Amino acid sequence: MTMPPSLISLPISGNPFTCNCQLSWFMNWLRTTNVSLGHEDEILCSSNSFSGLHNKPVWSFHPEEYCDINTILVSGVSIALVVVAFLCLVVYYKRWWFNHKMFLLKLAVIGYDEITDDADPDDYEYQLNIMFHDDHTQWVNEILRPALEERMPHLHKVAFGDEALHPGMYYLNALYHNLDNSFKTALLISNESVEDAWFMTKLRMAVEHVNDTKLDKIVLIFLEDIQEENLPYLVRLLLSRNKPYLLVTEDEDGQELFWAQFKKEMRANKVINSVIPI
């Protein structure tokens, strides 16, 4: 609405005005005009006005206090968004550290009560039997073997892949001998290994041995992320039974979590009361 410049008198007293942001232009005009408005003390805000202005003179309505951008609020929201984004980045990059601490906190607060086998790892011919694809031989010799010697020096009887198979035995018989005479068997899972028929035979034999002994002696170690659709049925079946798995990562906190979980897995063999369908 545009006020005509020839306007002299505008008697608006007694009319209830809705004092909200839509009235801002009119209030600005009232404060700058010399037009006679009648009884100014009777120009009141209606009950539909902003809270605190009901039945008060329209002169008490200052649009800049209600309708202008609240710089404090905007600044606060902006800072909060930046802080949340920063925390999300920190959590992402330090996710292994958080996982490790949550793992330790869970053990400390909740603990765990499992039925385990009383056999001692030293009672076996091998404390640990590691099965892996031939492509990972160099990684095992250069990274895993030294790390085991440094972090778990008490494991002095470890069978590393096919090199530890007993000579003179048929291949499958030698594989089963190491499975049967090892406290734990760790299988290194990768995209190459799950596509290899011989490795999958080793995994199937390990699962059959678990069913025979009723002891959960398998440790799954993932060397890399594998798409779910590329995981073999047997691996997905083991994971669906809430079986913990370990993931090798280059992140330092992730490595600490890996070894903490690995040491826990090596403490005892859980007793199972049902077979794994294969």
Secondary element (H or E) of residue 188: strand 182-189
* Residue 168 shares a structural domain with residue 267: yes
Following DSSP, what letter does each residue of 97-146 receive, concatenated?
A: HHHHHHHHHHHHHT-----B----GGGSSEEEEEE--GGGHHHIIIIIHH
CB atoms within 10 A of CB 74: 10
* Residue 248 shares a structural domain with residue 158: yes
Q: Quick check: is 124 in a domain?
A: yes
Alpha helices, DSSP H only, in the chain? 24-30, 63-66, 71-93, 95-109, 137-139, 145-151, 171-180, 191-194, 197-213, 233-240, 252-265
Number of domains in the chain: 3
The pLDDT score that the predictor gives to residue 169 is 93
Rg, C-alpha atoms of the chain: 37
Q: Which two tokens stand for residue 84?
A: 């949340």
Paired residues of 247 in beta bridges: 222
Residue 101: domain span:
70-111
Q: Which residues contact 184 (CB under 8 A, 6 or more apart)?
A: 121, 127, 128, 129, 217, 218, 219, 265, 266, 269
Whole-model pTM: value is 0.61
* Residue 145 shares a structural domain with residue 76: no
* Residue 267 shares a structural domain with residue 187: yes
Q: Quick check: is 265 in a domain?
A: yes
Final residue of a structural domain among 33, 66, 99: 66
CA–CA distance, 221 with 233 (Å, rounded to integer): 17
Q: Quick check: is 9 in a domain?
A: no
* Residue 178 shares a structural domain with residue 195: yes
31-51 residue pLDDT tens: 888 888 878 888 899 988 888
* Residue 102 shares a structural domain with residue 154: no
* Residue 192 shares a structural domain with residue 119: yes
* Residue 120 shares a structural domain with residue 145: yes
Q: Quick check: is 133 in a domain?
A: yes
Rounded to the nearest integer, the mean pLDDT of the chain is: 87
* Residue 165 shares a structural domain with residue 36: no
Q: Quick check: is 15 in a domain?
A: no
Please tell me the total number of residues recorded for the chain in this structure. Answer: 278
* Residue 181 shares a structural domain with residue 129: yes
**pLDDT in single tens digits along all 278 residues of the chain:** 677 777 888 888 888 888 988 888 888 888 888 888 878 888 899 988 888 888 888 888 888 887 866 656 777 888 889 999 998 888 888 887 888 788 778 877 876 666 777 888 889 999 999 999 999 999 999 999 999 999 999 999 999 999 999 998 999 999 999 999 999 999 999 999 999 999 999 999 999 999 999 998 999 999 998 988 888 888 888 887 667 689 999 888 889 989 999 998 898 888 887 777 76
* Residue 154 shares a structural domain with residue 80: no
* Residue 80 shares a structural domain with residue 165: no
**The CATH number of the domain where 230 resides is what?**
3.40.50.10140
Q: Quick check: is 6 in a domain?
A: no
CA–CA distance, 252 with 186 (Å, rounded to integer): 22
User: In the block, which residue shows the tokens 């897995």?
Assistant: 265
Sign of the Cα pseudo-torsion (54, 56, 57, 60, in order)? negative
Read off the DSSP letter of residue 148. Answer: H
Paired residues of 209 in beta bridges: none
